[in-house]
Chains A and B, each alone.
Chain A
Amino acid sequence: MKKIQLILLLSFFGHVIMSNEVNVYTSRHYDSDDLLYKEFTQETGIKVNIISGKGSALLQRLKSEGSNSPADIFFTVDAGNLWKVQKEGLFQSIQSDLVLSSVPENLRGPNDEWTAIAKRARVIFYNPENVSEEMIKDIDYEDLSNPEWRNKIVVRSSSNMYNQSLVASLISNLGEEQTESWANKLVSNFARKPQGNDRSQIIAVANGEADLAIANSYYIGIMLSGSAGEEQLVAAKKVKMAFPNQKNRGTHINISGAGVLKSAPNQKNANRFLEFLISKKVQKTMVDKSYEYPILESIRPSDEIASFGTDFKEDQISVKSFGELNPSAVRLMDRSGWK
């Protein structure tokens, strides 16, 4: 009891410095990640301290704390936020040969400020009962504005960062003017006012409320696993996944990534933590639990995800474009009436 009181008292006045630990600010909150952190502690004796929250909010706390920040690692699911930290100059270069030799260069910061940990693709879901193979084969994001899809597409609100990144990638590839005319037409193809999350779009397609849904790849894995309930499992079995732009630049992907902060008090532990995250064993557990794509080529995605095909072409657009173009993407979607 005494001990609990002491700990409570200490925690009331801030963070107690302990020698062997690593402090992580993360916007990933998967239960499976927590288990991995525990494993890291068991393996290395380094305690993992976590604060999780929205990427933007954590970045703000980081900026306010400045050089006094206790944070060692910034871990986020949004490439835009990764770029913001990079631009603010808050990252230091990763000091681990293992990370630098195993992660492909295009999945690291320009000066190794961060490394990708996992990937997700923004794909098109369809119900083969309503959409023929002919119609969906070789589909591009650009085709979604065609009149044949009038009132047949569902997608979530433009407040969602995955939609913002997708539009940013289109601006980067097609230019702002062409993307805007695309967005205007896409909005008139919506089957309903944007609502719900990626999974409710997939369910809408499964139930025949719409023909096509734009959503992230891993959601179908979660749904197929049955962990989200019977209803979602049934819906997920009805739909298929199409990878857009295979004949040209490739499907839009986004990354989860992490980097070591300049002011990190536990720099060594932080690098070790990154090494742990990209180790084969952890990558395998991670993709099996979160249904993302691994960053190591030697690792196979989870069975649920692999069943839709693994060797698709990825758009190589840089994280910098995501970050820089994100505000333009939001303004463009506002103008086009994408709610």
Chain B
Amino acid sequence: MNRFSIWRLLPFAVLIIFTAPLLIVLSTLFGSYSENWFHLYEFVLADYIISSLILVIGVSILVLFLGTVTAWTVTTYNFKGKKVFEWALILPLAIPPYILAYTFTGLFDPFGDANNFIRSVFNLKDSTIIFPNVRNIYGAIVVFAFTLYPYVYLVSRSAFINQSKSMQEAARLLGLNQLEVFYKLALPLIRPAAIGGMMLVIMETLSDFGAVDHFAIQTFTTGIFRTWYGLYDLQTAMQLASLLLLTVGIFYFIERSSRGDGIYTSNNSTFSPNEEVNLTGLKALTAFLVCFIPIFIGFLLPIVELSLWAYEVNLGFFNNKFLENSINTLSLSFLTGLICAALALLINFSIRYKPSILVGRFSALLSIGYAVPGLILAVGMVQLLVYLDNLAFSGFDIVLTGSLLGLVLAYVIKTYALANSSIESGYERISYSLDDSSKLLGSTSWNMLGNIHIPLLKTSILTSVLLVMSDVVKELPATLILRPFNFETLAVSTYIYASEERMIQAAAPAIAIVLIGLIPIVLLSKMIRSSRPIENRE
């Protein structure tokens, strides 16, 4: 065995470059602590922690419920609309949480459109307020859950599809009814997948600033920015961000180790797919509503409200500049998607090929980048780029800082977790015996990767590119300080308007984000439609 195998070195080299900005953020923990810590500790830190906790717990429960129940419904039952729901259930991924938050307040505020509408229909007094106030932590839980549940839905669905019929038949024979099969057997079996999806949701919830800021909830993230912008204390803000990161890191490790050494790859030869149960009448209606409500709240409602807003102002937004911004957005997200997928593939392969605890740990660090608020990550990135510039190009002007390269790097770190989760779960389905056979037959590592793994992982790779793309399209506040001069994306325009709550003006670019975000989503949906094992078993 060659100790200096490329599969040991490569992931390290890549990881060091890619984790550097995270390490720069974390390194503030070893710096000095300002007296603002006393203030934070005494007056606000407890609030930050408690609301973040409530938010995470609430979102997790709701997301788990929405994601698994919808996935179970479309995989086990046959009812009207099911074929559409199967792919439409991921559409809310195209809606950034902050945009749903804005449309929620636009609709449900005491004088929002929904309240006004009901009042005018039923001729009620102005003082009658029908819908509950959404500008609170419960509103935020709903917003995050209905935009992020597709992460759990996606993994749960493919896990349910891969569950064998024989197992469920045995359960039915032992006297479990359909519901019991769901929560006693099917659900526990997809635990690793569902929790993996939930980790993504938790990290995205924790790093969000737009939605919680809009609802005026004091979470850890709003605290980070308040400390930076208001107390003028970036050091303390980065220390707070580091604590957030470490917390997520701990969760991540617990989740990893709770999977234990159990290997979830299955031998496909005895696999036989489940037969779907036909539903009619009330049961079919229930199934329909179970799937329709998440899509309605997470996708249709914001689209309708945004369209109404956009209609109210001129549509002059859709011009040449819009085209340019769209191309910028698409190419940036595509590039990030490719790099993330390639990186995730290489790292997961090397972990499998040459298991190393160190690389495993390091790659976990990469995944927690998803939990860093984009702007904080960008600050670490600027420092890294300036350092590299001074190192390599001293005497020249700034080369890397304010380059697209820095921007892409930042987004790779931010979204790597998405690519990794997809490729990792793809790898979990490839039996280790395949690797062993190919090693026995003398194939090289590159051979194994190129000829065996990549063809088997085709769907996972594509999924990871598309997931990353859909995320980069909608979430770009870091772009604001990393971008080159005059480089605009759609999210930049939306973010700028939205951060000043000029939602009516933000509506047009927001719709554009959703439309462009729909491209990867629709491709994903297409894959979902054709991913039924019954129709195309290879």
Contacts and interface: CB of A to CB of B under 8 A. Distances in A.
A29 B229 CA distance: 18
Interface in A47-104: 49-58, 60-61, 64-66, 68-70, 80, 84
A331 B382 contact: no
Given A51-B485, A68-B389, A339-B216, A230 B401 contact: no
A228 interface: yes
Contact of B231 (A11, A17, A161, A330): A330
A14 B386 contact: no
B383 A64 contact: yes
B312 A229 contact: yes
A55 B218 CA distance: 21
Given A14-B401, A70-B402, A327-B233, A54 B226 contact: no
Interface in A14-61: 14-15, 17, 23, 29, 31, 49-58, 60-61
A326 B335 CA distance: 41
Given A52-B480, A65-B401, A229-B312, A199 B501 contact: yes
A250 interface: no
B115 to A, nearest CB: 11
Contacts of B486: 49-50
Contacts of A61: 382, 401, 481
A14 B398 contact: yes
B131 to A, nearest CB: 15
B481 A65 contact: no
A117 to B, nearest CB: 18
Given A11-B403, A11-B404, A195-B216, 8 more contacts: A13-B399, A60-B382, A156-B216, A157-B216, A164-B230, A193-B136, A327-B231, A334-B44
A145 B390 CA distance: 54
A286 interface: no
Nearest to A29: B496
Contacts of A339: 216, 218
Which of B225, B232, B480, B505 has the most CB atoms of chain A within a 10 A radius of its CB? B232
A68 B230 contact: no
Interface size class of B (residues with CB under 8 A): 35 or more
A209 interface: yes
Contacts of B402: 14-15, 51, 70
Given A14-B400, A64-B383, A339-B218, A207 B110 contact: yes
A231 B106 CA distance: 11
Given A15-B485, A52-B496, A331-B231, A228 B110 contact: no
B216 A228 contact: no
A274 interface: no
Interface of A: 11-15, 17, 23, 29, 31, 49-58, 60-61, 64-66, 68-70, 80, 84, 156-159, 161, 164, 193-197, 199-200, 203, 207-209, 227-231, 326-327, 329-331, 334-335, 339
B485 A49 contact: yes
B111 interface: yes
Contacts of B229: 54-56, 159, 161
Contacts of A11: 403-404, 484, 487
A58 B228 CA distance: 12
A330 B309 contact: no
Contacts of B367: none
Interface string B366-406: 00000000010011001100100110000001111111110
A53 B230 contact: no
B208 interface: no
